[in-house]
């Protein structure tokens, strides 16, 4: 999938990858090279991204011989090579090398992080490129495990996974919300099971006991959704109790409405 994301990883738009034989253009400069960068510049589109060494044409940024950084610009497009753990080539329409910034990098020979100089264009790229990495990490770690041979299934599952990821990104904008991505997914599943699933059957006598407080047994999304399906009414010691089908919490009829209304 080609993904367009915000810096925090929120997915804005995606397009399925269509293979090498596709005639539709894509905005991946690793494939399009400097000609595509020049064309984007003419259209007034800003871009910064990585580029493969065999796509820089006659630019003198010779990757195997780079010591620190090398710069070549034709007044419109800037190509920068920076020697990190490996040589990183970037092409940019809107950023240049300066100002140089300081960053920590792991040095395997010294087995520790050291402070190194970094071009401005690399720093800007690292700031925004992590968005797609973040959504990839979350989806890969908690993706839908169901497999199918249907051609459409992968795209369908991707839509669900990214919808959950986007919902978690919006949820995390509130500093009072503390659920991580995995527990956020579990909470969604619990809500849907309670609202649309069937209550579990219990063997033996009586009802299963729980140590949770009454307010914590039912998610707020189920408790306050304004839907009150009644399973039955129970008479215990001449006291009428109401058992909601969706919550499975035995309530006095005078407490029923207060429990389900904010």
Average per-residue pLDDT in the chain?
67
Separation CA 45–CA 72 (nearest Å) = 20
**Number of helical (H) and strand (E) elements in the chain, helices listed first:** 7, 11
Q: Are 100 and 130 in contact (CB under 8 A)?
A: no
Q: Rounded CA gap, 98 and 67, in Å?
A: 17
The mean-pLDDT minimum among 83-87, 118-122, 178-182 falls in: 83-87
Question: Which one is predicted more confidently, 174 or 13?
Answer: 174
pLDDT digits (tens, 9 = 90+) for 90-116: 777 776 777 777 777 777 777 778 777
Give residue-wise pLDDT tens across range 140-158: 888 888 888 888 888 888 8
SS3 at position 197: coil
- Kindly state the average pLDDT of the residues 42-48: 72
Q: What integer pLDDT is reported at residue 94 of this predicted model? A: 72
pLDDT, average across residues 72-94: 69
CA 118 to chain centre: 27
- Residues near 46 by Cβ (< 8 Å), separated by ≥ 6? 93, 94
- In this structure, the chain runs to a length of 262
Whole-number pLDDT of residue 48: 74
**Cβ neighbours, 10 Å, residue 82:** 22
Q: Looking at the predicted structure, is the pLDDT value of residue 61 above 70?
A: no
């Amino acid at each position: 999938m080609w993904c367009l994301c915000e810096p925090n990883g929120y997915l804005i738009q995606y397009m399925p990858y269509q293979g090498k034989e596709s005639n539709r253009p894509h905005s991946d400069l690793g494939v399009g090279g400097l000609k595509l960068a020049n064309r984007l510049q003419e259209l007034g589109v800003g871009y910064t991204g990585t580029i493969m060494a065999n796509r820089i044409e006659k630019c003198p940024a010779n990757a195997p011989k780079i010591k620190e950084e090398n710069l070549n610009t034709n007044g419109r497009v800037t190509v920068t090579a920076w020697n990190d753990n490996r040589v990183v080539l970037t092409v940019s329409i809107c950023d240049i090398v300066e100002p140089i910034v300081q960053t920590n990098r792991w040095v395997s020979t010294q087995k520790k992080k050291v402070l190194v100089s970094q071009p401005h264009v690399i720093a800007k790229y690292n700031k925004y490129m992590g968005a797609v990495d973040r959504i990839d990490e979350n989806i890969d770690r908690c993706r839908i495990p169901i497999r199918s041979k249907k051609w459409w299934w992968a795209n369908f599952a991707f839509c669900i996974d990214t919808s959950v990821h986007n919902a978690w990104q919006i949820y995390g904008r509130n500093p009072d919300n503390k659920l991580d991505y995995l527990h956020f997914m579990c909470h969604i599943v619990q809500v849907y099971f309670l609202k649309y699933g069937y209550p579990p059957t219990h063997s033996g006598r009586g009802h299963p006991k729980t140590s949770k407080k009454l307010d914590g047994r039912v998610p707020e999304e189920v408790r306050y959704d304004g839907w009150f399906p009644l399973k039955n009414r129970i008479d215990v010691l001449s006291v009428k109790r109401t058992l909601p089908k969706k919550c499975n919490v035995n309530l006095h009829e005078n407490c029923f409405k207060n429990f389900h209304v904010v």
